Chains A and B, each alone.
Chain A
Amino acid sequence: MAANVITASHLTLAYDQGRKRIIENASFSVRKGEFVFITGPSGSGKSTLLKALYGAIRPLEGTLKVGGLDMGKIRKGKLQELRSHLGIIFQDYRLINEWTVEKNVVLPLIIAGYSMEVQQTQAKRLLRHVKLTEQADRYPLELSGGEQQRVGVARALSKNPFLILADEPTGNLDEYSSNVIWDLLENACDQLGSTVVVVTHQLPTMFNIPYRHFIIESKGIYEVR
């Protein structure tokens, strides 16, 4: 049986020093290699949960473990190390606009201190994978939204992360671009064995691999599939 990549037990997440509770007493787990969708209405706490998974907010109560590390007690150095093994995709892409597409893609490799040669080889491979080879030397603002998100996906995949966290990855995209992103994420899970957690307001119409589906509702997290 595969080990849990994420384990939440009686998890409560809140803002304003506990005054504004977003998720209360939630328990769930995600195993290695699973594809998980988390849906829910706007403001239900989907993004908050994702932030907790990469350590941007700490649990108020209960425990949340990511890759075996307790996110409530994790130290700064360990958190940096954990983040360097995650692939994170944002709805608003969060690319560095002063950097070329190629440099954006290899950001995790730059952080990890890989040689220029490794960076270039990996950039070529990833850009081919997301079909952006021609755009390598361009800047993010010169690309369409769909292309920018493909750069975001390539960046998330550049270090073969054990866990990919995607926050509304297709939220700003048309249907064609959305399908391209879903294909890439399916592939990451199916071919590379990464665990993928996607927060989205709507499930994709076409999805080709098995997945689990959680709903966040009334501050609780419930598995519906």
Chain B
Amino acid sequence: MKSVKEHLMFILPLMAILLGVEFVLVFNRVTSNYEEKLRESYTILVVSKSPMSLRRFRRIEPHISSVEAISKERIARQIARGIQNTKTQEILAALPHFYTLHLDRYLSRAAVEKIRKKLLKVPGVKKVETFGENHRAKYNLFLFLKIVFWSFVVLLSLVSFFLIMKQMEVWQLAHRERMRIMEVFGAPMLLRSGVLFRIGITDAIFAVALSGGLFAFLKYYWAPRSGIEILVDRQALLFEPRDLAILAAIAFTLVISAVMSVTVRSGEVRE
């Protein structure tokens, strides 16, 4: 019972860190996917007296990735609805050129405002509409979620790290005498800490398997049945096989650091 408790005292904080890392991985994938969707749907409208090309726009602002000219005929037809055909031709001649611009990434409100000012300085450009309010609301919500999430993960990792350190002290007390005796008889450090490595690596394997298993369960079982749109739509992003390798690398690095710290702190037989 005592042994199970000792294992859990290490496995649980390690799992908390691994779950935090996995949440970060999933969150990054989901947010970059969401960011991509926002970027795709976000456009800037430019009204210009003279015709403009993508090359020209990109010279002004490299973040502009594509340009679509809005058909003037359609606009003219809508304006001239019920007016004589000759009038439509006149309206068409008088109308400026309309363009919708797409950006290569989702930019902050300030960056978009800079682009707007740059475009307005171009001769012939009469109006630039960045749909700022809509953009700002989405962007701020996005930013808020990121900050809240990261704060949570950092806090969780810190608390877990302190719990691991606490468990290290327990290990140190439990194994110091054995390690000292072995050192007196000439055992090298790796042999002295062999038992700790075995315990630590076993615990790490458990922690990785449980964390990975939990996310696999969320991805394949829970998410499709959850009815939560963002999860159902992005089910594929919830867990990837390479995440297991990342979690294992982190867990083993933590275990090795922890064991080394215990071994070194157990002290040599020197006074």
Contact = CB atoms under 8 A, between A and B. Distances in A.
Given A94-B181, A96-B178, A96-B181, A82 B269 contact: no
A81 B185 CA distance: 9
A108 interface: yes
A83 B178 contact: no
B211 to A, nearest CB: 30
B271 A111 contact: no
Contacts of A82: 186
Given A57-B270, A57-B271, A88 B187 contact: no
B186 A84 contact: yes
B185 A88 contact: yes
A111 B181 contact: no
A192 B181 CA distance: 24
A96 to B, nearest CB: 5
A107 interface: yes
B69 interface: no
Nearest to B181: A94
B186 A15 contact: no
B147 interface: no
Nearest to A57: B271
Given A15-B271, A51-B271, A56-B271, A111 B184 contact: no
Interface string B157-189: 000000000000000000001100111111110
Nearest to B192: A111
B270 A111 contact: no
Interface residues of A, number: 25
Contacts of B177: 94, 96
Given A94-B181, A96-B181, A111-B191, A80 B186 contact: yes
B271 A80 contact: no
A83 B182 CA distance: 10
A88 B184 contact: yes
Size category of the binding interface on chain B: 10 to 19
Interface in B240-271: 269-271
B178 A111 contact: no
B91 to A, nearest CB: 91
Contacts of A81: 186
A139 interface: no
Contact of A107 (B182, B269, B270): B182
A56 B185 contact: no
Q: For A57, A96, A108, A111, which residue has the most chain B Cβ atoms within 10 angstroms?
A: A111
A58 B185 contact: no
A20 to B, nearest CB: 11
B184 A54 contact: yes
Interface in A183-217: none
A84 B185 CA distance: 5
Contacts of B181: 94-96, 107
Contacts of B178: 96, 98
A68 B271 CA distance: 22
Given A96-B178, A98-B178, A108 B271 contact: no
Contacts of B191: 110-111
B269 A111 contact: no
A56 B185 CA distance: 11
Contacts of B188: 80
Interface in B178-223: 178, 181-188, 191
A161 to B, nearest CB: 10
Contacts of B187: 80, 111
Interface in A26-72: 51, 54-58
A56 B270 contact: yes
A83 B269 CA distance: 11
B93 to A, nearest CB: 91
Contact of A83 (B185, B270, B271): B185
A56 B182 CA distance: 13
22 contacts: A51-B271, A55-B270, A56-B184, A80-B186, A80-B187, A80-B188, A82-B186, A83-B184, A83-B185, A83-B186, A86-B185, A94-B184, A96-B177, A98-B178, A107-B181, A107-B182, A107-B185, A108-B185, A110-B191, A111-B185, A111-B186, A111-B191
Interface of A: 15, 51, 54-58, 79-86, 88, 94-96, 98, 107-108, 110-111, 155
Interface of B: 177-178, 181-188, 191, 269-271
Which 10 A/B pairs are nearest by Cβ-Cβ distance?
Answer: A84-B186, A83-B186, A80-B186, A111-B187, A56-B269, A96-B178, A57-B271, A94-B181, A108-B185, A111-B185
